[in-house]
């Protein structure tokens, strides 16, 4: 490991000032930010301060997920500036945010630093198995409560070593997110809106997401009446997709489905256009990369009419219990502050903070890790993504949340942004309003 790998450098987000402090963790040296507005930095004693770590990818290949996290965290800090009352006692609160740089090894290292050096009481982590799974494993190994989201729960649960039909091996780590069942419900509802030959070109990577989807989603879609044409697992970073494209063209697949990281999809989709495959695609359903405007805009005209599925949209009819903001207020506030188009990760990250602090409030002692873990295991609350019940999930410690069908369409003339992100179906949550019918890609 070189010197740069051993340094964990954190950068501030939005306009928040910062100061740096050197932290030692497991032999690795980390540079971490302490927000000068945080109560811990002002000298509050650790016994009366709840310290929460927040880990997400703010830079690197997965940066689209973490792009809006700085704004969400500032809203949370403002709501918590007066402290948090638990069991009649008021605690000061400090949130320590960390950027994984989209590196799984770094994610693990950051979690260990927060545990060993910062002595956090709870870790919140979000966005893709490459971020969430190594952090959850570090927390499980150290006996520190952890709550995560925005990873298919099968990739989180089975991807970390749990076995079907066997007791859960996890005592300290908890998760709320969509899973294969939510993908199937969304996809079958969305795809049923257009006439196709029901042949699905499956481009699934050889990673935690891709392997979980291949093992669970593909069979479920076949059972629902679709023919899956799987081009086989590919490695992240692949640059030539000619063989996969030729297979999809030969099979005349009118539906395309993939779960790639952004650079890989951009490479594939441009090659698919050059080689004529996009002309026969009626529905292009892109998970992971198809979530954020920045990733779609990078494709130029090839991004119009890409289908996606959202885990949050600004029109979801739920408020944040932590901050009190509605979805529209959250999205509009972010656009005004950043000048960028709103992102569905705004609501997901806010929901992670909502759920985490609801669990801390319901614990008998937020400084006791057993108490916090117990509160997480029985958590029932409604966040910006909807209802969360960690006591009634598909496996212990997991709650499922809906996926809603969406599409990236060309924005009307005079709009602030190039794309509009519209809801096309709501089988996962009928409370969410549908705004448009699905349009064919080609």
pTM of structure = 0.85
Which residues are bridge partners to 123 per DSSP? 53, 146
Q: What is residue 289's predicted lDDT score, i.e. its pLDDT?
A: 84
Q: CB of 241 within 8 A of CB of 271?
A: yes
Q: What is residue 53's predicted lDDT score, i.e. its pLDDT?
A: 98
Mean pLDDT in each 10-residue stretch from start to end of the chain (442 residues)?
38 33 31 37 68 97 93 98 95 98 98 98 96 98 98 94 95 96 96 97 92 90 96 95 98 96 94 98 92 88 95 98 98 96 96 98 96 98 97 95 96 85 97 96 91
Nearest in space to 287 (alpha carbons), one of 253, 265, 259: 259
Query: Which superfamily, per CATH, for 181-310+411-423?
Result: Response regulator (3.40.50.2300)
Identical topology for domains 3-178+315-334+342-400 and 181-310+411-423: yes
Tell me which CATH code domain 3-178+315-334+342-400 carries.
3.40.50.2300
> What is 164-227 written as a DSSP string?
TTSPP--SSEEEEE--HHHHHHHHHHHHTTS----EEEEE-BSSHHHHHHHHHHHHHHHHTTPE
The label of the residue with tokens 């927000």 reads 35
Q: CB of 295 within 8 A of CB of 317?
A: no
The CB-side HSE value for 65 (13 A sphere, CA atoms) comes to: 29
Whole-number Å distance between alpha carbons of 66 and 128: 11
Two tokens at 124? 């919140």
Task: Show the CA angle centred on residue 46, arms to residues 43 and 48, nearest 5°.
Answer: 95
Whole-number Å distance between alpha carbons of 257 and 287: 8
Domain ranges of the chain: 3-178+315-334+342-400, 181-310+411-423
Angular region, 305: left φ>0, alpha ψ -120 to 50, beta rest = left
Q: What is residue 290's predicted lDDT score, i.e. its pLDDT?
A: 84
Q: CB of 353 within 8 A of CB of 87?
A: no
């Amino acid at each position: 490991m070189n010197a740069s790998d051993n340094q964990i450098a954190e950068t501030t987000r939005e306009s928040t000032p910062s100061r740096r402090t050197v932290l030692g963790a497991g032999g690795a040296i980390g540079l971490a930010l302490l927000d000068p507005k945080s109560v811990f930095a002002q000298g509050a004693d650790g016994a009366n301060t709840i310290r929460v770590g927040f880990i997400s990818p703010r830079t690197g290949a997965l940066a689209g997920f973490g792009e809006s996290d700085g704004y969400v965290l500032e809203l949370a800090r403002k709501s918590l500036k007066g402290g948090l009352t638990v069991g009649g006692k008021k605690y000061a609160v400090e949130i320590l945010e960390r950027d994984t740089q989209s590196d799984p090894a770094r994610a693990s290292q950051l979690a260990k630093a927060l545990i060993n050096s910062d002595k956090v009481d709870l870790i919140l982590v979000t966005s893709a198995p490459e971020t969430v799974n190594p952090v959850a494993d570090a927390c499980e190994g150290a006996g520190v409560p952890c709550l995560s989201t925005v990873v298919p729960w099968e990739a989180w649960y089975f991807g970390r070593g749990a076995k079907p039909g066997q007791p859960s091996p996890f005592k300290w780590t908890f998760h709320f997110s969509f899973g294969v069942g939510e993908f199937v419900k969304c996809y079958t509802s969305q795809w049923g809106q257009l006439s196709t030959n029901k042949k699905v070109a499956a481009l699934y990577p050889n990673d935690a997401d891709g392997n979980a989807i291949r093992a669970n989603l593909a069979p479920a879609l076949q059972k629902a009446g679709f023919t899956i044409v799987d081009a086989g697992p590919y490695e992240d970073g692949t640059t030539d997709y000619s063989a996969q494209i030729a297979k999809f063209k030969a099979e005349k697949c009118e539906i395309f489905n993939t779960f790639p990281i952004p650079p890989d999809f951009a490479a594939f989709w441009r090659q698919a256009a050059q080689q004529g495959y996009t002309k026969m695609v009626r529905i292009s359903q892109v998970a992971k990369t198809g979530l954020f405007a920045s990733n779609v805009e990078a494709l130029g005209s090839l991004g119009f009419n890409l289908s996606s599925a959202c885990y949050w949209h600004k029109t979801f009819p739920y408020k944040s219990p932590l901050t009190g903001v509605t979805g529209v207020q959250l999205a509009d506030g972010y656009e005004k502050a950043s000048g960028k188009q709103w992102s569905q990760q705004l609501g997901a990250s806010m929901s992670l903070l909502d759920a985490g602090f609801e669990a801390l409030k319901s614990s008998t002692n937020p400084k006791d890790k057993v108490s916090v873990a117990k509160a997480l295991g029985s958590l029932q609350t409604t966040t910006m993504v909807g209802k969360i019940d960690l006591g009634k999930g598909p496996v212990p410690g997991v709650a499922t949340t809906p996926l809603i069908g969406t599409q990236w369409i060309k924005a009307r003339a005079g709009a602030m942004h190039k794309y509009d992100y519209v809801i096309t179906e709501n089988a996962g949550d009928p409370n969410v309003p549908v705004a448009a019918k699905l349009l064919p890609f080609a």
